[in-house]
Structure 1
Amino acid sequence: MRRRMGRPGLIGLAARTAVVAGTATAVSGAVAGSSQRKAQQQAEQEQYQAAQQQAAMQQAAADAVAQQQAAAAYASPPAPAAPAAGVDVVAELQKLAGLKEAGILNDAEFAAAKAKLLG
Structure 2
Amino acid sequence: MPGLIRGVARTAVVAGTATAVSNRVTRRQQGRWAEQQSYEAPPAQPAHQAEPPAAPAASDMTSKIEQLKQLGELKSQGVLTEAEFEEQKRTILGS
Normalising by structure 1, we get a TM-score of: 0.40
Q: Which has the larger radius of gyration?
A: 1
What is the TM-score of this pair, normalised by structure 2?
0.48
